[in-house]
Chains A and B, each alone.
Chain A
Amino acid sequence: MPTLEDLSKCVIKGNVAKTKKMTQVLIDEGVFPLDIINKGLIAGMGVVGVRFKNAEMFVPEVMVAAKAMSQGIEMVKPLIAESDMPSAGKVLLGTVKGDLHDIGKNLVGIMLESSGYTVIDIGIDKSPDDFVQAIKEHQPHIMGMSALLTTTMLHMKDTIELMKEEGMGHVKAIVGGAPISQDFADEVGADGFAPDAASAVDLCNSLLN
């Protein structure tokens, strides 16, 4: 019988078919479903996250590993009551108004999900109003905004201000994207900034703990 460590290795290698097969074997063998997720699938992805941050693994490898992990999780999910599904916290993500870039945001989403967060991605070109409505609906712990253009990054400020007006100060606002810096994040009143997708996970961890 494969071990949970073998399953982790499969995820790290990004072998989707083998990950699914092995997950099925572990389920059939009666391994505790939450262990399959936490000690197998997510543990493997945790290693990928660290290697990505150290530039030992790269974007396509992260993407295929995440795919292996999430397909494994989908198989285990039906065996677990929804309330027992582990979640490190809920993060809402979107790209600001007038900005159609989504690659960086998607990568942040993948890294967060891989670290056990529940991610709600509301998409691109989202106005301050869209963000506030989505926060009302999904009640996230953290709201992350992405902007790739110097012309659109100012909308981050509008969104954060509107959140405060709406009494959503308890939701942490984080920002990222190529033109964004820590200075800019401070200027617009964000609770945090991360320069890349792996650091975004660390940022969320530190904001929630």
Chain B
Amino acid sequence: MLIVGELINASRKAIGEAIKAQDAEKIKKAALDQREAGADYIDVNAGIFVGKEADYLTWLVKLAQESTDDAPCCIDSPDPKAIEQALSVHRGTAMINSISLEKDRYEAIMPIIAGTDLRVAALCMSDEGMPETANERLAIADKLINGLLKNNVSLDNIYVDPLVQPVSTKDTFGLEFLDAVEAIMTEFKGVHTICGLSNISYGLPVRKAINQNFAVLAVGRGLDGLIINPLDKQMMANIIIAETLIGRDNYCSNYLTAYRSGKIE
């Protein structure tokens, strides 16, 4: 399971203000806390700062890596210039979040990742709109994966994001997503799937509980990447347990390690 810590996102009020005030300590703490809680990648996003995104993103990468002994970052931007500037200071192998099948985005991001070892989140969205069914998602994933392979990105570095949509707006949105995860993982052996969770619970109360349960269902269908708040202990425990239950945990050793360190309550 690849955990991307989602907290350093400028659209979150506390982080947006910290970026604006150039409060380095706050950013460093957010990165370190997430790393210590089990994040493999630290997501960095400065999207709300039009015109300054590239500089802020670069600043975030530097701070996040400084405080975590060079944990890799997930560079969260649709702007190729901002991504390239952030990559120029990044140490190790970053992840790019994200490419999609929308023509402009596809053409802007592909040259950055073609032929590199970068990991990439590939979002199932095209110019035809948002996919609603598992089959529509699979069709987009197919084109994205094959396009990336042709551009010499290895299958192991591709994390398909099948696109989570709110179950409050259509009863079948949860199921179609889960079916898509399974279909993508079955059709393209060796590829990965990743997603953020908060969309699933939009419009409903106690969103945290819905997100936690949906994570478990998705892992059960084969999902092996999550963009989440790693400081959510229940979420992290759920993920460890789900992986143990589906045979991704030899001799239950991750579960037992988590238990001994007090992560399972």
Which residues from chain A sit less than 8 Å from chain B, CB to CB? 55, 58-60, 63, 98, 100-103, 106-107, 124-125, 149-151, 154, 178-179
Contacts and interface: CB of A to CB of B under 8 A. Distances in A.
Given A58-B204, A179-B47, A179-B48, A103 B166 contact: yes
A151 B130 contact: no
A100 B130 contact: yes
B50 A150 contact: yes
B47 A150 contact: yes
A106 B169 CA distance: 10
Contacts of B165: 103
A151 B104 CA distance: 12
Interface in B41-61: 47-48, 50
What's the dominant secondary structure at chain A's contact region?
loop
A106 B203 CA distance: 13
A59 B169 contact: yes
A190 to B, nearest CB: 16
A150 B48 contact: yes
Given A59-B166, A100-B125, A103-B165, A179 B11 contact: yes
Contact of B78 (A55, A106, A124, A151): A151
Contacts of A98: 102, 104
What's the dominant secondary structure at chain B's contact region?
loop
Interface string B126-163: 01011000000000000000000000000000000000
Given A58-B203, A58-B204, 16 more contacts: A55-B205, A58-B168, A58-B205, A60-B169, A60-B203, A98-B104, A100-B102, A100-B127, A103-B165, A103-B169, A124-B129, A125-B127, A150-B11, A150-B50, A151-B47, A178-B11
A63 B168 CA distance: 9
B11 A151 contact: no
A59 B202 contact: yes
B196 to A, nearest CB: 13
A45 to B, nearest CB: 17
Contacts of A107: 169, 203
Contacts of B50: 150, 154
Most buried by B among A60, A101, A125, A179: A60
Interface residues of B, number: 20
A208 B186 CA distance: 55
Nearest to A197: B203
B36 to A, nearest CB: 29
A100 B103 CA distance: 13
A59 B203 contact: yes
Nearest to B126: A100
B79 interface: yes
A98 B47 CA distance: 16
A151 B51 CA distance: 11
A157 B207 CA distance: 33
A178 B12 CA distance: 11
Interface in B150-197: 165-166, 168-169
Nearest to B49: A150
Contacts of B204: 58-60
Q: Give the 8 A-B residue pairs with the shortest CB-CB distance, closest first.
A: A59-B203, A59-B168, A150-B47, A60-B168, A100-B129, A151-B78, A103-B169, A150-B48
6 contacts: A58-B168, A58-B204, A59-B168, A100-B130, A107-B203, A151-B79
A96 to B, nearest CB: 14
Contacts of B79: 151
Nearest to B203: A59
Contacts of B166: 59, 103
Contacts of A102: 130
Contacts of A59: 166, 168-169, 202-204
B51 to A, nearest CB: 10
B202 A103 contact: yes
A181 B202 CA distance: 19
Contacts of A154: 50
Contacts of B202: 59, 103
